[in-house]
Structure 1
Amino acid sequence: MKQNWTFGWQLAFGFAVSSTFLVAIGIAAYWSISVLIATAGSVTHTQKVLERVSGLVSMMKDAETGQRGYLLTGDPAYLEPFRAAVAGMPAVLSELRVLSADNAGQQAKIGQVEALVNNKFNELKRTVDLRKAGHADQALKIVLSGEGKKYMDALRALSEQISREERELLRKREADTDATAGNAKTTIVAGTILCLLFVIGAGVTITRSLTERLGMAVGHVQSSSAELQAAATQQASGAKEQASAMSEISTTISELGVTSRQIAESARRVAQIAEQTAAAARSGGGTVERGQEAIAGIRRQTDLVVSHMLDLGRKSQEIGAVLDIVSELAEQTNILAINATIEASGAGEAGRRFAVVAEEIRKLADRVAASTKDIRTQIDDVRGAVNTTVMATESGAKAVDQGARQFAEVATAFKQIADLVTTTTEAVREIELSTKQQATAADQVRTAVSEVAQATQESETSSTQTLQTASQLAGLSMDLRRLVHSRTV
């Protein structure tokens, strides 16, 4: 059935299938990038949960440190971390509930965390109120009873459970991100190779079909020239047969004229199509290069997303290390504060030891403050890395859109492409020139026939000229046939 298709229908079919491949590749790439963006958002969500849990524990430690400082010195300035924790804790707990709304298990743990936080704040407030009322000994007894330490230990353990579950979820989401990126790369590369192979096959098939049709046209020209040569030979055989030969020659020349005009018109149209095809081929080559650049952009953006995600993981590890230092320093501060209190209560006038212990407490407090600043700096870096990741993902989506548009241009340009356009154009031009020469020769034969009809004396000269013209036309037809066959091979 395909053998009966016209050249235009074959081109339309080939490039329609190519366009279908390109659209499928674009849809698959768009879907993969959409999934990648959604997964990156989930990773950011998990990082926020980890950040808020760490901030909650840090605030409680700051509140406890402020309480111990106030109990030891009676200076209200030490209560600033305590007041800040009391004011900021509701917002942190509320945000944790919103972030974990899709996880019933985490919601239950956050409820337990809230209860522990309230108990710890109540314990801290009791000791502060006793110190304000001048009952420092009673406040110290509450501290030494270990009630506050029990709450803090439970709070740390529960926070670690929440963080551990979120880190496990983070690892799963990072694995999903890697898998989605790999699928996107495979789909784009495999689809592009398949589309290119189909376009090449379609081009070869169309070129062979066009060559076969040109060969048939040349065969018609050769047949017509052979008939003209036979007629001219009969005319040259003698004047006795001139009357009957004239009728045969006239008929043959008429057929040759019609055939020549048809071939000339067909050759002209084919030449125009070949020139348009050459221009489209050059345009298509440039469009393909731009499409490849767009695909390279997608790969770079995907690599950038992965790099930022790794950077985010490293920053999280650094935060964990700094938090360990803060925990260690807080515990040492507590021990030194208790020792200083015991020494002060048993020394009486010998307050020199208390002064030494107080100096150590001040130094440790300075280290805690410096570590807190480091924590905040690291948290800011994490946020910056998250923002950079989001921006890189958005750039990747734009690169995908640009790639899709470039391949749309490729589909439009390749609707007019055929391989070996330069060779085909030259062959068609030679055919057009030959048919023009054939038409000229036919006009000369017709003139010769008219002269034979008008004057018998010029019959022999006209016959000789007609024979020469027919021989040239036959030779030209043979040259055209050899040209077409050589191109086919």
Structure 2
Amino acid sequence: MKSSIGVKLWSSLLVVLAAIIIVGVAAWTNINKFTESEKAIAHALDVQSQLADVLSLLKDAETGQRGYVITGEDRYLEPYNNAVAQIDNRLATLAQTVEKPETKQAIAQLTVLADAKLAELKETIGLRRDKGFDAARAVVLSDRGKTTMDQARGIVTELNKKVVAALEARNAEAEANSAFTVDTIVIGISLTALFVLGAGIFLNRAIVGPLRDLTRVAERISVGDLSVDAQVVKRDDEVGALNAAFIRMTESLRGMAHVAQRIAEGDLRGSITPVSSEDVLGTAFATMTQNLRQVNREIAEGVSVLTASASEIQVSASQIAAAAAETATATTETATTVEEVKQTALVSSQKARYVADVAQRSAQVSVAGRKSVDESMLGMQQVREQMEQIGDSILRLSEQSQAIGEIIATVNDLAEQSNLLAVNASIEAAKAGEQGRGFAVVAQEVKSLAEQSRQATAQVRTILGDIQKATSRAVVATEQGNRAVEAGTRLSREAGESIRLLAESSDESAEAASQIAVSAQQQLAGMGQLAQAADNIKVAATQNMEGTRQTEVAAHNLHMLGQKLKQVVDRYQV
């Protein structure tokens, strides 16, 4: 078989495609014929329907004419008027619908007869309207309209027969095309199925069978079984080439498996020759064998060095372990001392914080005292101002008392003069006798008033004397109060200055105490970090001691490993 698999596949597919094309062309042709038959049938039915409409309109017109002729009432003309309005359009449409010349000629005759019938109906209606029933009846009895109507019916009947004949012919043709289409499709599908079955059997024998055998061999090789052999197939196509490639691949894998077996047994003297420059696996296998030989030599040399070094490391590890134990002991003592110092720093930090708090409160108290002194000074200033106002008021009161004394003296003089005037009036009244008796009474009253004025003036003078004495004492007290206020103001100013100095000193003390507390806190933090570092050093020293012990054990194990590696390397032959 010299044809390739592609040629075989394409040949089978082309045969199947040709069968499908033949069936498709036959079916398409028959479907087109069937479609044309359906169109012709629809056209014939349309012509038949339009002929029936024309004939029906003529009948409606004749019915309307008869009703009017009999009754003479216009309402019976409604069918006639509807028919006259539609029949011309229907005849024109029918003339455009038909295609055959003989049919067009028959439609033209039908149109002439329809016009004649409508003319006869119109004439009859006009005679009935103008001349009465008898004139119209005479036209009807002449059978002219009946003859025209019979001719029109004859033409419609002939056309219907032709349409029916055409429909029957088209139906028969459609049935024949349908049967032929079914037969073509059935036969074509059957032949196509036979072609497909034959092509499947051919391709199965030519392609699937050999590929199945190669797949079976590939499955055995995929699970590591290289004892299977591919069957030799003498073919020039792709299957033959694939079979030959499988045989070469199997032989190459067997060669590499043999070398791998020797390597597994400790023999590195085997070699692999790559099949070609593109043999990645063979090249990699050959490179791996050569590298294994080189690595084995280097491992043998390294094992010797490793054994000697392991012995030295073991001795050094023992010495380091002893030194690490001593370091761990010293670190433990240092950590204990640092912890004690940390506790002392903690107590100092607490005391410094307490002193800072006390100093802060003292500063606050000093500020409050200074504020109170300022308020006292302000109050003393207000008291001084009020005392000055009181002194001024007392001075004004003293001046007014003196003015009142002068007024009292004047009133006293007036009283004495009034008394004297009353005495004189009494004398004059006594001289006047009976006529001066009323004047004597007035004089007596004036005298009485003068006496009362003198007594009141004496009382006022006494009271004014008491007021002047009290005013003098108030002035003295006011002077003493002013001096006391000035002394209190001076003392408050001195106390405020002392408190200010105390507040400044308290602020400086509080700031110093705060700095001391911060320093103590930082010192405590530093001691905490130092204690933590000491603990970490202690833990690290313990871990180092443990690591040193492990290193000593590892060095011993490394020495033993060197001995084992030397034994392993000695197993391989290079």
- TM-score tier, shorter chain, comes to 0.3 to 0.5
- With a CA cutoff of 8 Å and minimum separation of 6, indicate the structure with the bigger relative contact order: 1
Answer with 1 or 2: which has the greater Rg.
2
Normalised by the size of structure 2, how large is the TM-score?
A: 0.40
Normalised by the size of structure 1, how large is the TM-score?
A: 0.46
